[in-house]
Amino acid sequence: MTDLALFAVFVVFAILWRRDTQSHKRFMLLATIGLLDAAVIRWPFGDMTAGIGAAPWTRTDICVDLFLVPMIIWDIVSRGRVHRVTLIGGLAVIASQPLRVLLSETTIWMRVAGWAIQLVGK
């Protein structure tokens, strides 16, 4: 759900900034990167859901974050610095990863998940 929310936010921002081509393309790339968890977790490299030490990120999270690296390199090579959308959006993608784990353990989320399961079961 957090991936879908992040995707929606990035797409809305991309639409709002469609006349600023540099920001627009970065928002669209970030929206796509935000959805990669579902694909990356299926990679056949052991347990992709395993944590990395005491860090709140999993192997899947680290692999998804690596998709941000070409954007950062492109910004530095082409502009001499990281574009603000790449920086803020990339940090949002990275921050959302442990945040969804924290949210998944709350009572509110358990109620929403229970409601969704009941809705699907009807």
pLDDT tens digits, one per residue of 60-97? 888 889 999 999 999 999 999 999 999 999 999 998 88
Structural domains counted in the chain: 1
Cα(97)–Cα(57) distance, integer angstroms: 7
Phi and psi based region of residue 59 (left: phi greater than 0; alpha: psi -120 to 50; beta: remaining): alpha
Amino acid letter, 66: L
- Angle of helix 2-16 relative to helix 84-104, nearest 10 degrees, comes to 160
The string of pLDDT tens digits covering residues 75-84 is 999 999 999 9
| pTM of the model as a whole | 0.78
Could you list the residue range(s) of the whole structural domain that residue 80 is in?
Answer: 2-121
Cα(64)–Cα(81) distance, integer angstroms: 22
**Structure-token pair, residue 5:** 């929310």
* Burial (CB count <10 Å: 0-12, 13-18, 19+), residue 103: middle
